[in-house]
Amino acid sequence: MREIIFDTETTGLDPNSGDRLVEIGCVEMVNRVATGLTFHAYFNPQRSMPAQAEAVHGLSDAFLADKPLFAERAGEVLEFLGESPLVAHNASFDFGFLNCELGLCDMPAVSEARMVDTVALARIRHPGAKLSLDALCSRYGIDRSHRTQHGALLDAELLAQVYVELKGGRQIGLELVEGAGEDFVEIARPVTRRRDFRPARPHSASELELAAHAQFIATIDSPAWGT
């Protein structure tokens, strides 16, 4: 099954108050294995970048000034997303900004029926624990030493690893089996190992061994079994 893990960076927290999408990063996975295909783009938000947001992702007005508008690349974004399930951390946030930008382009919104929220998955799997991307990377031993600031593609790549762990990890004995059409499903199969059976070894004493034993017994004075 094809899935897209994605992340966004923005000018703020609320697209309905004028905040805009400035970066998107997408990672393609098939059967929860990264294929190496990604999509990454920066966008000119047509507004100034608040200092608080720039401190999070480091994207300045000067850096974004020559980047295309979202509308110029919206078709490429939708083509990469296809009809696949879309996995994001706190997915309603990313969906909100993506659909707001599509609406500004007079394009149909992406259905939230396709949304997979890793925060919700983590809350079920680790109730009461910290659920940030950093915390989950630490829990699962995923290296994030190169993450000094938020970045959409980098965060999507880290989230892809977290998502695999949240769904059970790469378990020995799980195989991928072709299902209907182009979809695949996971089924559990026992790991079988070939066993070589050897003939039973003889354990009876030989005549020579019996004679040596009788000779030894004869040297014992007053044996306990003779009384």
CATH number, domain containing residue 148: 3.30.420.10
Q: pLDDT digit string (tens) for 67-121? A: 999 999 999 999 999 999 999 999 999 999 999 999 999 999 999 999 999 999 9
The answer to whether the beta carbons of residues 69 and 76 sit under 8 Å apart is no
Q: Is residue 35 part of a domain?
A: yes
Q: How confident is the model at residue 202 (pLDDT cuts 50, 70, 90)?
A: low
Contacts of 27 (CB under 8 A, 6+ apart): 4, 5, 6, 34, 37, 38, 153, 156, 157, 159, 160
| Dist CA 81 CA 50 (whole Å) | 29
213, part of any domain: no
CA-to-CA dists, residue 17 to 56, 100, 172, angstroms = 19, 11, 48
> Does residue 86 fall inside a structural domain?
yes
Q: Does residue 226 fall inside a structural domain?
A: no
Give catalytic status of residue 150 as yes or no.
yes
Residue 106 lies in domain:
2-188
Phi-psi region of 78 (alpha: psi -120 to 50; beta: other; left: phi over 0): alpha
Q: What is the mean pLDDT of the chain?
A: 87
- Among candidates 101, 42, 103, 98, which has minimal Cα distance to 68? 42
Total domains in the fold of the chain:
1
- CA 40 to each of CA 7, 75, 105, 139, 182: distance values in angstroms, whole numbers, following the listed order: 10, 13, 19, 27, 26
Q: Which of 146, 150, 203, 213 is catalytic?
A: 150
Whether the pTM exceeds 0.75: the reply is no
Q: Tell me: the pLDDT tens digits for 149-193?
A: 788 999 999 999 999 999 988 653 344 434 333 443 443 444 445
The reply to whether 37 falls in a domain is yes
